[in-house]
Each structure stands twice: as structure tokens, then as C-alpha cells.
Amino acid sequence: MFLSTKDLFRSISDCQIPSSTPDGTVTALVFFNYPIDITTAIKTYDNQVIQLFKGSSNLRLIPSIAHEIFINAALTKTISDKIKQAIQYIREKYKRVYIKAVHSEKSGKATTMKIFIDGDDIQHIIAAKNTFDTLT
């Protein structure tokens, strides 16, 4: 599809298709080397009807949205159980959101934490971020 129109994109896209979600939603990750190609793809192909095996569906092109939360060492130590519970809650409630917590590596000292929230559903990402905003 992304190669069908000559000279539309500056780069050749790379496509990865992870397994579908329990509700049958299939998400394809399309990577471009130039950010302008992402905008071009959305303007050209978003909400187009595509033919599938037994029917048709509208194609939705949504850029991946990532959010990072930084938690200082004192807060990480104080509310670590709440952070773990929030991560578990987000993983169970928002299946299309990827969340990962990474501790900084400082030997002998309290460590800060960085939480990565990524996905293609802006409402779920905002809800996940709000879960951390209301922890205290």
C-alpha cells in the first residue's frame, strides 16, 4: 500500500504486525525514516476502506504516542507499592497501552524511576498517565 504511489514518500516503510488483541483488533506498526512521511501517510490513507478476507474495514492511521514520567528517589521509595499497583492496574485495564518502569542505576543510593507509557490510543495513554498523577 505504501509503495503503490511513486515518489509519495521519502523513505521505504518497514511494517511489523504483532498479534491481535482479544477483541480482534489488529495493529500494524509502520515505521518511516522521515517524520514528514508519517504525516503524508495519515493524510493519504487514514479512514480509507480496505478489503479484508470476508469483509471490509476502515483503515485508521494513528501515530504512536509515548509519554514518560519521572519519579524522584524519595517518592519512589515512599510509594513503591502504589507504583507497582498502578502499573498492574494499567496493564489489566488498558490492553493497547505498553507500560514499563525502569530504575536508574546508582550503587548504594536511592534510585529514581522512569515510567514509559506508549501506545496508539490517546485516551488510554491519558488515562494511564492520570493514574500516576493521582497516586499520592
pLDDT in tens, 33-92: 777 887 788 787 776 666 666 666 666 676 767 788 888 888 888 888 999 999 999 999
Please check whether residues 127 and 70 belong to one and the same domain. yes
pTM above 0.75, yes or no: no
Give the residue numbers spanning the domain of 128.
65-133
Number of compact structural domains in the chain = 2
28 closest CA partner among 81, 56, 52, 64: 64
pLDDT at residue 56, as a whole number: 63
7 is a domain residue = no
**Of the candidate ranges 14-18, 53-57, 102-106, the one whose mean pLDDT is the lowest:** 53-57
* Average pLDDT score, the chain: 80
> Is 90 exceeded by the pLDDT of residue 135?
no
